[in-house]
Amino acid sequence: MAEYYVGNKEYFPGIGKIIYEGPKSDNPLAFKYYDAEKKVGKKKMKDHLRFAIAYWHSFCADGSDPFGAPTHPHPWIVDAKSPLEAAEHKLNAAFEFFTKLGAEFYCFHDRDLAPEGESPAESEKNLFALAAKAKKLQKATGIKLLWGTANLFSHPRFMNGAATNPEFSVVALAAAQVKAAIDVTIELGGQGYTFWGGREGYMSLLNTDLKKEKEHLAKFLGAARDYARKQGFKGVFYIEPKPMEPTKHQYDYDVETVAGFLRYYGLDKDFRLNIEANHAELAGHDFAHELETAAALGLFGSVDANRGEPRNGWDTDQFPTSYYETALAMYAILKVGGFTSGGLNFDAKIRRNSIDPADLFEAHIGGMDTFAVGLEIAQRIIDDGKLSAFVKKRYASFNSGDGAKFDKGELSFEDLAKLGSKYGKAGITSGKQERLENILNQYLLGL
Ligand code: XUL
Ligand code: CO
């Protein structure tokens, strides 16, 4: 990756390139554990983790919440004379941030990059203008687009949904927006395209034809996929599950729900899952559960890395801080062979009262360090093999004899029942959960 370069204005003065200083460093603007070039297993840390920065949280969100006005005085907005000029400042600031931090990827919604115009045509014009500038910056810095997406939830026209809107004209407007977002993603070499169905769900069943809406969603996704493929898009389409918020119920509730939906509508060949830690928690699952479920179904794709606040149940999108959680997540990811076109996108925001420019850096440094530690622990678990050996042994009765026949589908239910009567008593063994938890804690502290 090239050294910091964007243009003539520095938006984060006084902050240089963030480097690895090691665990003993007390420099808040240095990595303690993330050492990009360090080999872990067969790959460098940076190639395992494929960190991406979420444009929306880091450069668009302003600290406002339902109870209060903006608190983040972004230097790139303050001195802009028009929305387009502001967007250009924001883009330059973003690339300055990516290069100083040393993250190789970013992700955006169309409306993060460029402002909405008076008409779809003007919105597209704005988007293509900013994308042309982003392309130059990507070339100059080596930063890549992990995935693009369209914001189909902020504009009032989407209050009843986008692809699932009861009004056909809104569905068509959503398609116009997605078409342009796909075009721009292709133009910028995006490795993926994400659909997060923020308002694809309902607030009340009393006014909703659920069956129709789900069918419309499937038709919309299939048509978008066909369009992108026709344009030469070779990347992966992601669905990002979330159970609710802003809707009462989102159709893409969790991994299992989306997997069923994709298979029912024949979309499972092109679509994979983008799994977000905080969304898993809102659906009542562990982050690792969602990752393992997607892996088991052959649908694992990418990750939105963040965390929730377990006691309040909102999508707080905080930066990851738990080694325990990142170790289990990275263990699930390494077991499935690691990322291919996906990566770890920090869909996370600094708090409303984090108002120093350095806070954005420190937040990401902490998130990257937390995942680097998680990666090293996961690699130790794999190298040591104790946990996988235990799991393998636990299912050993299926390796030969009648167990193996069952696995291959060679036993009828009558055969199975006959064998049950023959065995008479069951071979019960301890699950050894406590021992395994103790071993996991040893790995955690063994770094
Ligand atoms: C919202 C969310 C989105 C998606 C992209 O909860 O996670 O930012 O990641 O639309
Ligand atoms: Co997300």
Paired tokens of 154:
């902020």
Question: Helix, strand or coil for residue 410?
Answer: coil
Q: What is the rounded CA–CA span in Å between residue 246 and residue 200?
A: 10
Measured from the CB, is residue 240 less than 6 Å from ligand 1?
yes
C-alpha of residue 240 to centroid of ligand 2, in Å: 7
For the chain, domain boundaries: 2-384, 387-444
For the beta carbon of residue 24, count every other beta carbon within 10 angstroms.
Answer: 6
Nearest atom within ligand 1 for CA of residue 153? 10
Question: If you average pLDDT over residues 378-383, what whole number do you get?
Answer: 98
Q: What is the rounded CA–CA span in Å between residue 309 and residue 290?
A: 18
Cis peptide bond upstream of 246, omega within 30: yes
Q: What is the rounded CA–CA span in Å between residue 114 and residue 83?
A: 8
Q: pLDDT tens across 255-265, in order?
A: 999 999 999 99
User: Residue 307 has what pLDDT?
Assistant: 98
* Percent of the chain whose predicted confidence (pLDDT) is above 70: 98
445: amino acid identity, one letter: L
Whether 6 has a pLDDT exceeding 70, the answer reads: no
Say whether pTM exceeds 0.95: yes
Q: What is the rounded CA–CA span in Å between residue 130 and residue 22?
A: 38
- Atom 10 of ligand 1, residue of closest alpha carbon: 196
Query: Which band of pLDDT confidence, cut at 50, 70 and 90, is reported for residue 53?
Result: very high
Residues, beta carbon < 5 Å, ion ligand 2? 276, 304, 347
Query: Which band of pLDDT confidence, cut at 50, 70 and 90, is reported for residue 424?
Result: confident
Containing 48, the helix (H) or strand (E) segment is helix 45-49
| Helix extents (H) in 160-301 | 168-187, 210-230, 255-264, 277-282, 287-296
More confident residue, 311 or 256: 256
C-alpha of residue 113 to centroid of ligand 1, in Å: 15
Q: pLDDT tens across 203-221, in order?
A: 999 999 999 999 999 999 9
User: Residue 80 has what pLDDT?
Assistant: 76
Question: If you average pLDDT over residues 241-264, what whole number do you get?
Answer: 98
Whether 3 has a pLDDT exceeding 80, the answer reads: no
User: What is 2-384's CATH superfamily?
Assistant: Divalent-metal-dependent TIM barrel enzymes (3.20.20.150)
| Helix extents (H) in 16-167 | 45-49, 55, 75-78, 83-101, 110-113, 120-141
If 0-12 CB within 10 Å is exposed, 13-18 middle and 19+ buried, where does residue 164 land? Answer: buried
User: Residue 310 has what pLDDT?
Assistant: 87
* Percent of the chain whose predicted confidence (pLDDT) is above 90: 93
User: Residue 119 has what pLDDT?
Assistant: 95
Whether 177 has a pLDDT exceeding 70, the answer reads: yes
Question: Helix, strand or coil for residue 287?
Answer: helix
